Structure 1
């Protein structure tokens, strides 16, 4: 059985391989998933809620190899998280291959366009969460083959349960509900990225900058709140930034301006007050003041209207 329903820019997709194998394959292709190898006699299911800025898909596969082909827009805007709730999955991105087993989660770089997932066990339960998280990525996080792992079982279980709920949720019945769904997906993504572990440990400054980039769109973000979230004193945080010729307040302001410019570059016709709100600056006037405060004297294409 296959069905696609739509409302408020969202699509609810349900696909069951038992009914029509051709329909099953074509429905998956429309979701940017292509089956490379599998025993078509074994039941497979795919359930997803796809919105303008996120997609949560719960899947159950036998021994299978699939290819996920993300469009250039998705690859440049969305983080991809891969949860394995049961079984074992070998993930290949370019020349990089890694293995996820039950209870493990990975955060794939926004630059990853093509991924191959090999389902190793007889039954493999996998959840994919793709989210557009407002953030200014650092250089290390735009490498196509970079992957970070989440090793805290408590965080993994919590975020899996929330993501599973999104993948099974009915279509929103109002614009407010649609906004709430995206906010939930973005909150899950921020939690995952905050706990994702790179191969090398982060310095205090790097950890703080990562937190600021993930939360710059929250207009309540402050230096004090950042220190509390990282479990350090505000004085210690100030020292870490001073050692790098920076300050927490300036970093927050700078990141918000960069985020606003990115939104304008994405959609030059977007209302400036709306841009400022999305970037955590509330109003166009505060956006202009923030640009002046960080020394923006030129007017780049991405900020031509600021």
Structure 2
């Protein structure tokens, strides 16, 4: 980058792994393993839902969309990180950075909305069982899924459009491992007031609002579960929500730490760890959580692998 402060930046340099100059080969293998587990696990979930008629229900319909989002979410960041490890050069062009930020925020915002929709689905199933078929009919769940994707797309388009109006004329080093709005605002040399206001507004509408809907849904769900008299009924009702609750806690918890932590007081290494957990580890955990805790998903897997139904039944009792 030459020309001083009057030259527009054409590429950015990621500093996230600069503190580990000799460990890139090991990190490449670790991130490659995580990425493969993420892709294989989520594609497996989608495939099982399509193949097994027992999984053709609203809950698994939304789960398949969550798995698709996780595949896209992980694919936005990890391949570029792997490429930089191989090149021994952590750079990204300006256009690639804007594209990465656009898709990253699209899938992140869509996942927030989808988790709220999935919480509503569980509310309808447990609190309104007699009306569940109508509440979650194809005429309802398909628009809800489309809305979830559009929710993130609109939010991302706004932030990306605002980011393209920023001027980067000085330092081009980003204290991060991928392109995101907050680290880009730190190095911009033009006024970022509008961008910051948009970011704060989005944190309320795109992040906090879906989370509050999830909390409200689960308040009603837990209240309904506690009114069930039999222990077996309570356990069965709770088991249908357990996996989703774990995913919600992990996702929104990590998102809160990633976007709402203080701008100072954290080292670059801690920032890198938090970003890795939020954008790379979380998509890998979702299929593991749903497959390990869900008997129907495990049953579909045994069926695809050729195990007899009786064998699966005997394993479930053990």
TM-score with structure 2 setting the length: 0.24
Larger relative contact order (C-alpha < 8 A, sep ≥ 6)? 2
Larger Rg: 2
Structure having the larger proportion of residues in helix: 2
Is the strand fraction higher in 1 or 2? Answer: 1
